[in-house]
Amino acid sequence: MTSMAGRANGFVFPEIKRARTRFRNPLMKYQIAIGPECDNCGFCIDLCPYRVYTKGSKRPRVTDGHFCLGPSCEKNSFSCITRCPRSAITVRPNPSFELLGDRRWTADLLASTWHMAETGAIPHTDLNYKTGGSGGGFDKLSFVYPKDDRKNPTEGISTSLELNRTGDGRPRVAIPLPFYLGGMSFGSVSIVSMLSRVRAATALDTFCCTGEGGYPDELKPYDDHVITQVATGLFGVSEETIQRVRIVEFKYAQGAKPGLGGHLLGDKVTPPVARMREAVAGSALFSPFPFHSVYSVEDHKKHVDWIKAVNPKALVSVKVSTPTDVDMVAVGSFFAGAHIIQLDGSYGGTGAAPDIAKKNIAMPIEYAVPKVHRFLSAEGLRNHITIIASGGIRTAYDAAKIIALGADGVCLGTADLVALECIRCHHCESGRGCARGIATTDEELTGLMGLEWGTQRIVNMYLAWRKQLVSILSRLGMRSISELVGRTDVLTHLDYMSEKEVKGELD
C-alpha cells in the first residue's frame, strides 16, 4: 500500500500497529458463551480464522469476541458453533450493544470505528461501517458504481489535496489525504487526547487544529502540523502563536452551536486550563458571539489582512456555520482573501451545546456544500478556494459523499474521539468530564490513556479510511480524489430512487 500516490516530498504513510482496547473487555456485538460441556480440547482456538479464542486454564478464553461473525457464521466451514465437538458454544446478540450509540452514530458505526482504530483494517464482520441510522442525508445517499468496477486498478490513485489554490504567492501546502483534524481545545479535551491527535496528524502529514483554548507548549515539536485557531474569545491567542504555524483558522461560528459562543463549564477550567486561557480557574468561560470587530465583509477582510501581516507565510482558513445565505458567506470570505473556507454543518460534535441548537439551528452539511459549490462555480471562483466540509462527517463514506457533493476535503473531530474509545454518552460537559478520560482535564481521568496508544489508534483509523477512499475512487474509475469533487452524478438518494431503478451497483 505504501507505494501509492501521496508520496510527494518523499512522504511515506506510517505503519499500522495493532492497538487493542484500553479496557479489559472489548464491546462486542455478539455474546459468546462456552458451557460446562466444554472439555478444553482447544479445537475452537485453531478453528477460528479471526482468533477470537486463546488458551485458558479450564476453558478457552474469549479474548477478541468483537472479531466474531455472530450466529451467521454457522454457514461457514470454520464455525465453532457447529463444529465444537461438545456443542458447548453459543453465540447470541449482546444486550449491552443494543444500548450503544444513537441514530447518527449507531452501535455498528462505533464498533466499526473501534475495529479500524485497533487494526487499521476494514471490518470483516457484519458491522455497517458505511452508514448510520439517521434516515436522511449521508445515510440515504449512496454511490452508484458502474458494473464490473472491481477490475479497476487501485495502484497509483491519489488522495492528496492542495490547500492553497489562490495563486497569491504564499506557500502551496499539499496533504496526502483529503482531510485534516478539527479544533478541540485544551480544556475541552485532555492534553493526551490533544497530543494524540496532533501526533497522528504529523504522522499522516496533515494538520490538527488547536481549537480555542491556547497553544500548549507540548505542541511545539509539531508546529508544522498545527493549525492555530483565532476565535471570538481570543483565549490564548498571541502574535507569537500565529507566527508559529502554516495555517491560521478564524472561527466565526461552530456548526453545533451556530450563532452562539463556545462554553467551557467551570468544573473543567482547572488551573492549567485557566493559565493557558489567561482566565480564572473554576469559572465558566464563554466565547462571545460574534466577533465584535466584524460586522461586515469589509471588517472580515481587515481581520484576514491582520493575520496575513503577522505571519506572511501562513494560509488563512475561515470556519463558518451554515445559515441560509451560506453561499454569500463563502463568496465574502473568498474576496476577503481566505485560502480555505470551512463549512461546519449543524450535526457536528462539540464539548457542550444546548440540544436545541445542535438539532435545529442552521442546515446540515449535506445541503450546504452543494449550495456553496454551485454558487462559487457560477461566479468562476470555485478553482481558487478550497472548500473543507465538517460537522457530521463520521466515516470514509461520508467524506467521499460530501466531496462528490462539492467539497475538496473534510475536517474531522468526533471520529478521532471515537477512535480513542469515546462511547458518545454525551456527558463531556459535566463535572470532571469524560469518564473514559478523553474529554476531561481531571488528572486521574487523563491518566486512563497513553500517548502512543492514542496516536496509533487515530493513525490506524485513517489508514483504514484511506483504503476505503481508494476503493471508492477505483470503483468509480477515477484516478484522484480531485476528480470526485462535485460529481453528484455518481450519487443517488435512496428515498427517491428504488434499487431497481439504479443503473449500477450501490454501496
Partner 1 sequence: MPAKYHIESGPVPGRFQPITRSGVIAWEEGCLRCAKCVKKECVYKVYEKRSLDTSQMLDSLDSACQDCFRCVQNCPGRLINKGMNPAYTAMGNKYWTPDIISNIWFQAETGRIPVSGAGYGGAFSGFGFDSMWTDMSEIVRPTRDGIHGREYINTSVDIGRKIMNLEFDGKGDVSSPVYPLVELPLPVIFDLLPWSPPAQQIRVATLRAAKRLGTMVLIPESQWIPKYEPYLPQTVLYMDRGVRGLQKEVAEAVRFVEIPDGPRALQRQAAFKEKNPSIVVAIRVEMGPKASARVLELTKAGTEVVHLRAGEKGIEKGRDRVFIKDRMKEIHLHLVDSGVRDAVTIIAGGGVAMAEHMAKLIICGADAVTCDIPTLVAMECRICKRCSQGISCPVHLESIDPAWGAARICNLMAGWHNQLLEVLGAMGIREVRRLRGEMGRAMFFEDLEKEFAALGKRG
Q: In the range 389-408, which residues lie near partner 1 by CB under 8 A?
A: 392
Q: Tell me how far, at minimum, the Cβ of 163 lies from partner 1, in Å.
A: 21
Cβ distance to partner 1 smaller for residue 226 or 369: 369
Instruction: Tell me the window of 119-127, 212-220, 429-437, 471-479 that interacts with partner 1 (CB under 8 A).
Output: 429-437
Cβ closest to partner 1, residue 205 vs residue 421: 421
The secondary element (H helix, E strand) that includes residue 119 is helix 107-119
227 vs 434, beta carbon nearer partner 1: 434
Cβ of residue 334: shortest distance to partner 1, in angstroms?
A: 12
Maximum Cα–Cα distance across the chain:
78
Q: Can you tell me the distance from the alpha carbon of 97 to that of 368, in angstroms, rounded to the nearest whole number?
A: 34
Who's near 103: CB < 8 A, 6+ residues apart? Answer: 132, 133, 134, 135
Closer by beta carbon to partner 1, 240 or else 501:
501
**Binding of partner 1 by 424 (CB under 8 A):** yes
Query: CA 225 → CA 11, 349, 403, 406, distances in Å?
Result: 14, 22, 23, 25
Binding mask 90-129 for partner 1 (x = CB under 8 A): ----xxx-xxxxxxxx------------------------
Residue span 228-267 as binding mask against partner 1, x where in contact by CB under 8 A, dash where not? ------------------------xx--x-xxxx------
- 340, β-bridge pairs: 317, 386
- Least separation in angstroms between residue 95's CB and partner 1 is 5
DSSP letters for 199-254: HHHHHTT--EE--SS---GGGGGGGGGEEEEEETT-TT--HHHHHH-SEEEEES--
Taking a C-beta distance cutoff of 8 angstroms, is the pair 330, 343 a contact?
yes
- State the nearest-atom distance from the C-beta of 499 to partner 1, in Å: 11
Minimum CB distance to partner 1, residue 177 (Å): 22
CA–CA separation, 470 and 473 (whole Å)? 5
Report 350-379 residues binding partner 1 (CB under 8 A): 350-364, 366-367, 370
Residues 267-326 that bind partner 1 (CB under 8 A): 286, 288-290, 294-297, 300, 320-321, 323-326
Dist CA 413 CA 416 (whole Å): 5
CB of 329 vs partner 1, minimal distance in Å: 5
What is d(CA 85, CA 68) in angstroms, rounded to the nearest whole number?
19
Q: Which residues in 134-153 contact partner 1 (CB under 8 A)? A: 134-137, 139-141, 144
SS (H, E, C) 152-212: CCCCCCECCEECCCCCCCCCCCEECCCEEECCCCECCECHHHHHHHHHHHHHCCCCEECCC
Q: Which is nearer to partner 1, 249 or 366 (CB)?
A: 366
Nearest-approach distance from CB 146 to partner 1, in angstroms: 13
Smallest gap from residue 464 Cβ to partner 1 (A): 22
Separation CA 321–CA 389 (nearest Å): 10
Q: Residue for cell digits 475512487?
A: 473
Residues 470-499 within binding reach of partner 1 (CB under 8 A): 488-489, 491-493, 495-497
Nearer to partner 1 (CB atom), residue 12 or residue 378: 378
Q: Which of 208, 420, 422, 484 binds partner 1 (CB under 8 A)?
A: 422
Residues 191-210 within binding reach of partner 1 (CB under 8 A):
none
